Every structure is written in C-alpha cells, then in structure tokens.
Amino acid sequence: MTTREQTYADIRHEKDETISQHLHSTQRLNAFHDDIMKQVFTTALQNHENQHGSPPCPYSLFLLGSAGRFEQGTISDQDHGIVFELDTEEAAGYFLTLGQTFSDGLNEVGYPYCEGKVMSSNPVWCRSSAGWKEQITSWIDAETLDTIRSLHMICDARVLHGKKAPVSALKKQITTALQQDSHKLKRFFENIQFMKKSVGLFGQIFTEQNGQHAGSLNLKQSAFLPYVNAIRVLAMKEGIEPSSTLMRMKALKKIPAYDGRIDEYEEAFRTLLEFRLRALKNAPDYDSSHFVNIDSLGPVRKRELRHILKTAESLHHYVQRLTAKG
C-alpha cells in the first residue's frame, strides 16, 4: 500500500489548526513557521522532480526578511532566494521553476507572495554562486537606495534547505566590503536613517491619521525596523554573521567597544517581541498584523510601548553617531 503524498491543503490545514499552540514565544512561533515552510518545500520539490527530474547540482534555499531573522509574527508573507552551484542556463531554468513552485506552495498554505517580488521565482533572487558574487559586487558599487536595500536583505539570509556555506560566502562578501571602506558603511546606514517620529515631547504616541488603520500605530515601521536595521548595521560593521537581531546583540555584547551599551536595547527588543505576540495574535490579515490600535491598550501597555519606541529612537541615534565616525 502506497502512502499518499502530502498536499498543500494538508499543510494549510495543519498550520491553521495548530498555530495557536505556538504563540507563547517568538522562538516557538518561528520554529513552527520553519517546520511548515520545510513541509511546503518538500512537497514543492517532489512535485517539481516529478516533472523535471532531480536537481542538476547542489543548491541552498534561504529565507530573507523576518523569516531569515527568525522574527516572524503570526501572519507573514514570503521572502526567499536560491543559490546554486552550476553557472549554466539549464541550471538557472531548473531552479527558477523550482522557486516558482515553492512560491506558489507557500501562497496556497497562507504565506502571501512578496509584493516586492523578493522570491526565488524571480531571477534576481535565484542565481548561481558566480552570478550572486557578480550581482553583490554590482550592488555594492552602485550605492543606490534600491541596491543597498537588497544588500540589507542578503545580510538577513538564513538557510532553510541545503548547505550554509554558499550563503555565508555572500554575507561575507558584503561585510568585507563594508569593513574595508567606511564610506560604504555610512551609505549602508544612510539607506535606513529616516525614522518616522512616533512619540511626542509629552509622551503622546503618533498614530495613522487616515485610512482603515486610523488611530493605530504601524508597529513594523515605528518599532521593529528601527531596532532591526540599526543592529544589522552594527553586525555588518563587526563582521557578525547570525541573522537574528537577538543573536547579533549577543555577539555585539562580547565586543569591548559595546560593553554596557546593548543591554538596554536588547531588553526593549525582547519586550517588543512579547508585545507583538499579545497585541497582534488575532490580526485578520498580513497588512493588519503590523498595526496596533492605541485605544485598545491599557495604561501599562501604553507605557510599555512608549518605552519601546523611545529606546528605538535612542538606538537609532547611537548607531548614527558610530557610523559617522567611520
């Protein structure tokens, strides 16, 4: 008797039925997301091999964005890429179609397509090792907002399937370039230096004024990204490879120059992760999962949020001063 192959519908059912059991911590929730995405990839690979045969060479599938950093919330979109060994048109075609199959599977299971098309179904994010090396060199030299944003994303890469070494090499290429040229490091920070003010002089929290999220704070833009972006810059400056913001903070604390400076930021970021789980666990869709209605918070939660936002601003200014020094 043959065993029925797992379908995307099976995985979607498991995800929807059991995710509520994994909302006690960000660590547990992201381990759950990883398991679901691995199941999706296994099914996608089986479907793809049935039509196109086995992969022509070794490859690594890596996650980007919040998934790469192991910081996804309850609802997440998809960000991923592929690096493969053979620099041939045949290999490129094989892995692009595999990337498309994987992207479609993730979408069916409940991880919507990335609006910016940062997916392995896009040839920009699906390349040979040689192609990736050339692309990263081009991005580093270009120094445009878009290319620097792409470099930021690669720095958050984490392997889901395959060997880690090819992806580590890409990240190493970026950190080496930044460490050798202080101007490039400054440009790396300038790309994320704009920070929308979210707390007023008297502690008032600035919310969205119009639209369906009027009266709500964009937690991603006002809180998460200031922590994530600033710590990423320090990690790249120091050649720290881990993608997780907390792991980066842990590594930074071992460097004498940061002694005593990171603890406050780490505590606030941990509080932010817990705050998001409590405040947004029942968000109905991906867009809504970034917004918290301020009026729904009690006095204690509002004080907690103010502290998170003010500490994020402090961290942002701290990193700005460091990068200005070179």
Does residue 42 contact residue 109 with C-beta atoms inside 8 Å?
A: no
Of the three residues 145, 180, 215, the one that is the final residue of a domain is 180
Please report whether residue 107 resides in a domain: yes
Residue type, 233: V
If asked whether residues 72 and 218 sit together in one domain, one would say: no
Range of the domain at 37: 21-180
Question: Can you tell me the mean pLDDT for 164-169?
Answer: 98
Residues 154 and 197 in one domain: no
Q: What is the pLDDT of residue 325?
A: 76
The reply to whether 4 falls in a domain is: no
- Sheet order of strands, 80-84 included: 126-128, 80-84, 59-63, 158-161
15 in any annotated domain: no
Q: What is the pLDDT of residue 186?
A: 87
The amino acid at 49 = E
Q: Are residues 229 and 157 in the same domain?
A: no
Same structural domain for residues 176 and 224? no
Judging by beta carbons within 10 Å of its beta carbon (0-12, 13-18, 19+), is residue 115 exposed, middle or buried? Answer: exposed
User: How many domains, the chain?
Assistant: 2
Within this chain, do residues 218 and 130 fall inside the same structural domain, yes or no?
Answer: no
pLDDT of residue 326: 63
What's 165's domain CATH number? 3.30.460.10
Q: Is 194 left (phi over 0), alpha (psi -120 to 50) or beta?
A: beta
200 and 301 assigned to the same domain:
yes
Do 89 and 112 share a structural domain?
yes
Give counts: helices (H), strands (E), the chain: 13, 6
Question: What was the pLDDT predicted at 193?
Answer: 75
Residue 291 DSSP code? E
160 in the same domain as 64: yes
Examine the pLDDT at 2 and tell me if it is beyond 60.
no
* Last-in-domain residue among 180, 203, 219: 180
12 part of a folded domain: no
Last residue of a domain, one of 150, 180, 210: 180
Tell whether 8 is covered by a domain.
Answer: no
CB 128 within 8 A of CB 96: no
Tokens for 290, please give them.
Answer: 């970034």
Instruction: For residues 172 and 317, state if they share a domain.
Output: no
**Average pLDDT of the chain, as a whole number:** 93
Per residue in 183-235, pLDDT (tens digit) is 888 888 887 777 778 888 778 888 888 888 888 999 999 999 999 999 999 99
Rounded mean pLDDT, 308-313: 95
pLDDT given for residue 150 in this prediction: 97
- Calculate the CA dihedral of residues 194, 64, 124, 91 and round it to 10 degrees: 170
In a domain, residue 14? The reply is no
Q: Is 290 found in the same domain as 241?
A: yes
State mean pLDDT over 130-157.
96
Confidence of residue 236 (pLDDT cuts 50, 70, 90): very high
Same domain, 224 and 168: no
> Residue 1: is its pLDDT beyond 90?
no
**pLDDT one-digit tens code per residue, 239-267:** 999 999 999 999 999 999 998 899 999 99
| Residue 2 domain-assigned (yes or no) | no
What are the distances in angstroms from CA 49 to CA 36, 97, 98, 156, 254?
Answer: 20, 11, 9, 29, 46
The answer to whether position 16 is within a domain reads no
- pLDDT, tens only, 16-55: 999 999 999 999 999 999 999 999 999 999 999 999 999 9
Are 135 and 48 in the same domain?
Answer: yes
Q: How do residues 112-143 score in pLDDT, each as one tens digit?
A: 999 999 999 999 999 999 999 999 999 999 98
